[in-house]
C-alpha cells in the first residue's frame, strides 16, 4: 500500500508501507471462521447420524412387530375365507391408475426421494393421461406439483412421526375417495433391505370394483354376513394395512439413508477442516516469517 508520496530532488518518489496484519491477518481470520463453522457442521451431522440410527432401530422393531399385518395378510383372508368367493372383474385396455408415492417430509436424507420419483416416472412412461397422483410427503409433493400439474390430484404432508396405524387408516380414506373413478391403485415406496440398503418398490392393490364383486355364500349352518357393511370395512382395512406396511418400510429407509448421508457429511467436514487447518497454519507461518524479516532488516 502507498503510505504517502514526497518530492526529493525534483522527483516524486513513493515510500511503500507494508501492513502485515492487514495483508495476512485477514486471511487467517477468514480461515479461522471457516474452520469453526465446518467443525460445528461436523458436530451437527454426527448428532443427526446418531439420531437417525436410533430412529432406524425403532422402525425396524415396528417392521418386525407388524410383519403378520403386512401386505399379504388381508389377501390371505380373501383367498382362504370360506364365506367368500372371488370373481375378478376384467380390466380395460388402458386402465386408469391412482399412483401413491410415499416420500419424506424432511430433507438431508440423500437420494431416497429422487430415486423413488425416477422409478415412478419410468413406470408411467409417456402415456401419463391415464394416471392420477396422490402424493404423501412434502418433498415429493414439491417436486411433482409443477412437473405433473395436469394429473396431480392431492398432497398429504407434515405427517407425525412415528408411523402408526391410525394415521394409515385416515390416509386410506383419502385414497379410497380419490380412487373412485380408477381401475387400480399403485403405492410406491422404498423397501428396507438392510442398514445401508433400500430399494424403490411398487405394489398394486386390488380395486374397489374387485371387492364389490365379491359374492358371499352360505356354508353349513353359518349365518350369511351383511355384504353392505363387511365388504367396505374389509376394503378399508386392506388399503390401510397395505399403506401402513409401506410407510414403515419407507420410514426405516429414510432413516437408513439419512444415517449414511450424515456419516458421509461428517467425514467430508472432517477432511475439509484438516485441509483448512493446514492452510491456516501455512498463512500464519508466512506472516510470522515476514514479520521476522522486517524486524531483522
Q: What CATH number has the domain bearing residue 46?
A: 1.10.287.80
Confidence check: pLDDT of 23 > 90: no
Q: 3-state SS of the chain: helix, strand, coil percent to 5?
A: 60, 20, 25
209 CA to centre of own chain: 33
Query: Is the same domain home to 199 and 235?
Result: yes
Confidence check: pLDDT of 10 > 70: no
Query: Is the same domain home to 166 and 88?
Result: yes
Number of folded domains that form the chain: 2
Query: Is the same domain home to 201 and 107?
Result: yes
Confidence category of residue 297, pLDDT binned at 50, 70, 90? confident
Q: Tell me 25's DSSP state.
A: I
Query: Is the same domain home to 86 and 61?
Result: yes
Percent of the chain with pLDDT over 70: 74
- Sequence-ordered list of residues with C-beta below 8 angstroms from that of 249, at least 6 positions apart, any chain: 63, 189, 190, 191, 192, 201
- Tell me how far apart the alpha carbons of residues 1 and 19 are, in angstroms, rounded to a whole number: 8
State mean pLDDT over 276-285: 93
Region of poorest pLDDT, from 226-235, 264-273, 275-284 = 226-235
Q: What is the pTM of this model?
A: 0.78
| Rg (alpha carbons) of the chain, rounded to whole number | 31
Query: Is the same domain home to 196 and 290?
Result: no
Phi and psi at residue 11, to the nearest 5°: -115, 145
Neighbours of 210 (CB within 10 A): 18
Confidence check: pLDDT of 22 > 60: no
Query: Is the same domain home to 67 and 197?
Result: yes
Rounded mean pLDDT of the chain?
A: 81
Query: Is the same domain home to 67 and 33?
Result: no
Query: Is the same domain home to 116 and 163?
Result: yes
Query: Is the same domain home to 240 and 123?
Result: yes
Query: Is the same domain home to 192 and 46?
Result: no
Query: Is the same domain home to 238 and 280?
Result: no
Domain assignment present for 119 = yes
Domain assignment present for 70 = yes
Query: Is the same domain home to 97 and 34?
Result: no
**Highest mean predicted confidence (pLDDT) among 11-15, 46-50, 94-98, 207-211:** 46-50
Region of poorest pLDDT, from 78-82, 146-150, 219-223, 287-291 = 219-223
Q: What domain range is 245 assigned to?
A: 54-259
Q: Tell me 136's DSSP state.
A: E
- Per-residue model confidence (pLDDT) at position 219: 39
State mean pLDDT over 251-272: 95
Amino acid at each position: 500500500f502507498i503510505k504517502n508520496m514526497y518530492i526529493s530532488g525534483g522527483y516524486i518518489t513513493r515510500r511503500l508501507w507494508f501492513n502485515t496484519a492487514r495483508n495476512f491477518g485477514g486471511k487467517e481470520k477468514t480461515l479461522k471462521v471457516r474452520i469453526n463453522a465446518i467443525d460445528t457442521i461436523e458436530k451437527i451431522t454426527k448428532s443427526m447420524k446418531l439420531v437417525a440410527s436410533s430412529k432406524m432401530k425403532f422402525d425396524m422393531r415396528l417392521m418386525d412387530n407388524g410383519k403378520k399385518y403386512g401386505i399379504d395378510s388381508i389377501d390371505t383372508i380373501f383367498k382362504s375365507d370360506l364365506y367368500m368367493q372371488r370373481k375378478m372383474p376384467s380390466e380395460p385396455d388402458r386402465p386408469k391408475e391412482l399412483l401413491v408415492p410415499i416420500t419424506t417430509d424432511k430433507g438431508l436424507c440423500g437420494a431416497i426421494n429422487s430415486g423413488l420419483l425416477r422409478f415412478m416416472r419410468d413406470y408411467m412412461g409417456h402415456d401419463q393421461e391415464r394416471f392420477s397422483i396422490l402424493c404423501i410427503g412434502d418433498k415429493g409433493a414439491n417436486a411433482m406439483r409443477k412437473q405433473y400439474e395436469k394429473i396431480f390430484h392431492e398432497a398429504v404432508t407434515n405427517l407425525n412421526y412415528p408411523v402408526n396405524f391410525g394415521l394409515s387408516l385416515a390416509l386410506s380414506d383419502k385414497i379410497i375417495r380419490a380412487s373412485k373413478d380408477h381401475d387400480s391403485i399403485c403405492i410406491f415406496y422404498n423397501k428396507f433391505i438392510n442398514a445401508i440398503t433400500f430399494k424403490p418398490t411398487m405394489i398394486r392393490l386390488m380395486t374397489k370394483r374387485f371387492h364389490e364383486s365379491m359374492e358371499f355364500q352360505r356354508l353349513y349352518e353359518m349365518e350369511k354376513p351383511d355384504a353392505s357393511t363387511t365388504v367396505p370395512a374389509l376394503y378399508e382395512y386392506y388399503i390401510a394395512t397395505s399403506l401402513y406396511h409401506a410407510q414403515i418400510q419407507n420410514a426405516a429407509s429414510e432413516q437408513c439413508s439419512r444415517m449414511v448421508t450424515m456419516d458421509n457429511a461428517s467425514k467430508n467436514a472432517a477432511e475439509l477442516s484438516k485441509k483448512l487447518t493446514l492452510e491456516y497454519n501455512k498463512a500464519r507461518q508466512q506472516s510470522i516469517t515476514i514479520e521476522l524479516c522486517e524486524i531483522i532488516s
